[in-house]
């Protein structure tokens, strides 16, 4: 797959508000699925499917610990994605755009 096809495919992942919001939340720390469900207005399977897409493109890492699955950013080697996120709000700013509080750390 050529450079532009691959870039377009990755940028398409950022072109969805839910996924972009997730990536912004991940800027400062890892999040488990249930926390994302608590903060975003979307069902648990909805979150899982977004995370699968992000993972399949290598944009997030998955870490299973106990019954929780934590996701973290993996964009060190994707400069144009990293650059976009640099201009986006981090965890706190994103939560405030969502009119949400930090979720209770139920997990662990």
Partner DNA sequence: CTACAATATAATCATATGCTTATACTATTA
Partner DNA sequence: TAATAGTATAAGCATATGATTATATTGTAG
Give the residues lining the site for its own copies (CB under 8 A): 2-5, 7-9, 11-17, 19-21, 24, 79-80, 83-84, 86-89, 94, 97
CA distances from 72 to 2, 19, 61, 62, 81 (A): 27, 13, 5, 7, 14
Give yes or no for a contact between 59 and 72, defined as CB atoms under 8 angstroms apart.
no
29 touching DNA, by CB under 7 A: no
Give yes or no for a contact between 78 and 9, defined as CB atoms under 8 angstroms apart.
no
Q: Which does 26 bind (CB under 5 to 8 A by kind): its own copies, DNA, none?
A: none
For DNA, the binding residues (CB under 7 A) are 12, 15-19, 32-34, 37, 41-53, 62, 64, 66-69, 106-107
């Amino acid at each position: 797959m050529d450079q532009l096809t691959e870039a377009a495919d990755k940028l398409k992942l950022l072109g969805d508000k839910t996924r972009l919001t997730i990536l912004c939340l991940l800027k400062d720390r890892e999040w488990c699925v249930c926390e994302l469900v608590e903060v975003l207005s979307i069902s648990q399977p909805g979150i899982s499917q977004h995370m699968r897409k992000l993972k399949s493109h290598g944009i997030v890492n998955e870490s299973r610990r106990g019954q929780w699955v934590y996701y973290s950013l993996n964009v060190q080697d994707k400069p144009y994605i990293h650059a976009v996120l640099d201009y986006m709000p981090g965890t706190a700013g994103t939560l405030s755009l969502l009119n949400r509080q930090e979720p209770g750390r139920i997990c662990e």
